[in-house]
Amino acid sequence: MWSLSIPETWQRSPQASYVTAGALIATGVLLQSLFSPSRDNRETIIPSPRTTLLPKLAAAERLQLPYPPDALPGARDVESPYGTFRVYEFGPEDGRKVLLVHGISTPCLSLGGVAHGLAEKGCRVMLFDLPGRGYSDMPVGIDQDIKLFTSQILIVLASSKLSWTGGDGFAMVGYSLGGGISAAFTSYFPYLVSSLVLIAPAGLIRDRHISSTSRLIYTKHTVFEPLLLRIVRSRLQKPLYPPKKGSQGQPDPDEPAGTETAVQAEVNLEGNQHVVLSKSHPDITIDAAVNHQVHNHQGFVKAFMSSIRYGPIQRQHELWRRIGRTLKEKDKMAFVILGERDPIINVHELREDALDVLDGRVQFVVLDAGHEVPISKGPKVAQHIWEFWESGQ
């Protein structure tokens, strides 16, 4: 799935790659023991651009940012033991409550089109920036796993003046990594979540899509961490081009994606078509927002790497089976929306695996799009979700 480019000599000679990998591991352990700061001196929170950038800008300059702080309505900053999180909440207060969880590389702005579409249909929507993205701080020394994500979700829910956990609870809409997060959260809190909607979700990605190089590079402490951070940051700062496709113009299912493909797939809008993610700033684009994030949020690359290492991306089958049992008990269905040309989530594999672990309690819609389906098709995605709920789910 995500991996770094490696020297040609590694590709030509597996033995050379093993020797080099061993040397990197040994060097990394030695350098970390020499240069890692003591625990008492370590940073505990990497602040977001909310505190490192915004105070330096005039009001007019803030409005010109690729991700303006008022990009979505109802903004608030929620303090927590993990730093401050950015939350947006808008729509009719008495509407169906919907929590949206974004992907690995974008701020929650990526789901702006879907959120606006649902709010216009009468829903009360809430979005938030995951740790290390957008205007949310990055906690240091804490793995970006389901424990952290679950804690953040409960914190942002509790920050609302409205009750989100009473009555029928709330619906969850998760995209990409956010799909894996939403499914895992639902498996632990099945009676808080009234409806589960997954868009191009992580969680069931098959092992064959993870290259051996990726496993090596993204295993913690395999190489000197600051060096690895610089390499990944450099790759993510390169111009973003469309992911590699096969001879028929479709994603090549057997081609391991590069490190930056996770970002490319979320921001690549075919034909550079313009989509509206923010009603107040209709000209902002997700690719510019992500590029700005790479350069201005010092915690982003660490968050990106930690999410790949520890996030609910693979092997979540047992948690999804728990969801299937609950759906059967409730006589409900989950809803999955996929992009036909998605280079990250294989439509046929995901359909097969989800049907299995959810015990058939799932409906699918496949749209003419790539992994960026909720960005490029936001209003259409919102309409499909609404129709699913109107059917009694």
**pLDDT in the model for residue 167:** 86
pLDDT in tens, 241-290: 344 444 444 445 444 444 445 555 665 544 345 789 999 999 999 989 99
Greater pLDDT, 49 or 226: 49
Q: How confident is the model at residue 218 (pLDDT cuts 50, 70, 90)?
A: low
Greater pLDDT, 103 or 14: 103
Q: What is the mean pLDDT of residues 161-171?
A: 94
Q: How confident is the model at residue 221 (pLDDT cuts 50, 70, 90)?
A: low
The residue length of the chain stands at: 393
Give how far the C-alpha of residue 356 lies from the chain's centroid of Cα atoms, to the nearest Å: 24
Q: 377 phi and psi, to 5 degrees?
A: -120, 35
Greater pLDDT, 258 or 76: 76
**pLDDT in the model for residue 86:** 98
Question: Which residues of the chain are in CATH 3.40.50.1820 domains?
Answer: 45-206+313-390
**pLDDT in the model for residue 271:** 37
Instruction: Please answer whether residues 69 and 54 qualify as being in contact, where contact means their C-beta atoms are separated by less than 8 angstroms.
Output: yes
**From residue 110, how far is each of 42, 166, 175, 289, 374 by CA, in Å?**
32, 28, 9, 9, 8
Q: Closest Cα to residue 287, out of 306, 299, 272?
A: 272
Residues whose CB is less than 8 angstroms from the CB of residue 320 and which lie 6 or more positions away in sequence, other chains included: 183, 187, 203, 204, 354, 357, 358
Q: Is the pLDDT of residue 216 over 50?
A: yes
Read off the tokens for 112.
């702006």
Q: Closest Cα to residue 322, out of 203, 164, 229?
A: 203
CATH number of 45-206+313-390: 3.40.50.1820
CA 193/CA 191 separation, integer angstroms: 5
pLDDT in tens, 33-57: 444 444 443 569 999 999 999 999 9
Helices 225-237 and 14-35 pack at an angle, to 10 degrees, of 120
Q: Closest Cα to residue 159, out of 82, 86, 71?
A: 86
How many Å is the maximal CA-CA distance in the chain? 63
Q: What is the mean pLDDT of residues 333-338?
A: 98
User: Sign of the CA dihedral 201, 202, 203, 204?
Assistant: positive
Greater pLDDT, 280 or 224: 280
**pLDDT in the model for residue 317:** 97
Q: How confident is the model at residue 220 (pLDDT cuts 50, 70, 90)?
A: low
Read off the tokens for 20.
């080099």
**pLDDT in the model for residue 200:** 97
**3-state DSSP assignment of residue 127:** strand
* Mean of per-residue pLDDT scores for the chain: 84
Could you tell me whether strands 124-128 and 83-90 are parallel, antiparallel, or unpaired per DSSP bridges?
antiparallel
**pLDDT in the model for residue 207:** 79
Q: Is the pLDDT of residue 124 over 50?
A: yes
